[in-house]
Chains A and B, each alone.
Chain A
Amino acid sequence: MSEFLQQLINGLSLGAIYALIALGYTMVYGVLRFINFAHSDVFMVGSFIGYYLGKIIPENTVWGGLAILLGAMLGCALLGMLIERLAYRRLRGGPTLNVLITAIGVALLLEYSGQVFFGATPRTFPSVFPSANFSFGSLVISSNQIIVIVVAALLMVALQLIVYRTKIGTAMRAVSLNPKAAQLVGVNNDVVISFTFGLGSALAGAGGILYALNYPSIDPLMGVMPGLKAFVAAVLGGIGNIPGAALGGLLLGTVETFVNGSQWSTYKDAIAFAILIIILLFRPAGLLGKFTVEKV
C-alpha cells in the first residue's frame, strides 16, 4: 500500500509538469485552432534561462528560487510573443497546415540553435530552492516534489481566474468563439493572440524550471519527449479545454509512473500512447472535450 501511495506521489509530481506544458498547447489551440509545436522548446529555453540566472542569483534560497521562476516565466513569455509576431502572425488566415509546418520549423530552429548557443552537452541545473525530504512512515516526499505540485496548482488556478474573471480572458474566449465577431465588437485580435502566446509560454517556462528542479540535467533537446507527452495529455483531456489539459497531464504522469514501476517498464511510452488511442476511440474529443462538427 505504501508503495502504491509513493508511486502516486511520484506520478502526480511528474504529471503536474506535463499538465503545465499541456496548458500552453491547449490555450493556443483553443484560440487559434493550431498546435504550436515550438512550445516544448520554449520549455527547454525556460530551464536554460533558469540555469544562467542561477549563476548570478544565490542558490538554496526561497526568494532566489522564486526570482528564477519569475525570470524564466517572463523570458519565455517574451520569447513566445516574439515567435508569434515573427513566425505565425503573417500566416494567420491561411490554411492551418502552413502554420503547423512553420511551428515544426520554429521548434527545430530553437532546438538546434540551442545546441549552438548552449552546447549539446548536458548541463547540471543548480539547486535553486532549498531542498529537504519529508517522510511519513515509509512514505517520502521531497520538497522539490511539493514545490512542483503546489506551483503547478497555483498557476492552474491563476490561469483559470485570468481566463474567466478578467477582461483579457473574456476577450480570449471571444476570439476563440469567433474571431471576426470579436473584432466587430472592438476586441484587438493581435493583442489577444499575443497575450495568449505570452501566457502559454510563461507556463512552459515555469514547467521548464520545475522539471529541471526534479531532473537537474538539462540539454537543448530535453523538451522533445516531455513536449510530446504534454501534447498527448492535452489531446487526452480534450484539446482546447483547460481543466482537461490539467487532468490529462496528471493522468498521463501517473500511468507512466505506475508502468515504470512494474515489470513492463520497457513499454512505458507504448502503454501511455496506447491509452491515448483507446480513449480517443471511445471519446474522440478527449475526456472533457466537447465534440464539435468542423465548420466547412
Chain B
Amino acid sequence: MKIIKFLLIYLITLILFCQTLLADESKLAKGLEIFNEIAACSACHTLKAAGAEGNVGPNLDTVDLTIESVKEMVTYGLGVMPAYGEDEILTKEQIDIVSFYVVSSVGK
C-alpha cells in the first residue's frame, strides 16, 4: 500500500513537473517569436540565445536583468527604444512573455 501511495505521489509530481516544463517551453518559443519577429528586439539588441546581434541598444547578455526591470523597460522604452506597452505595440501578455524569455535566455 505504501509503495502504491509513493508511486502515485511520484507520478503526480512528474506530471506537474512536465506540465511546467511544457508551459515554459511554449512560453520560451512565444518569447523568441516576439523577440525576433513581432517586436524585433533583435534588430537593436544582442542576445546570443536568440541569434540576435543588434548593436543599437545594450547587449542583453552583458546586463543584469530581472523580469520586472525588463517589463518596465519594454513597457515604457528609453531613448530610441520604443515604449512597447505605453504605445500599445505589444499587449501586456506579450510583454510578460518576452520579458520571461529574455531573462531566461541571458548568457545562454
Pair from one complex: no
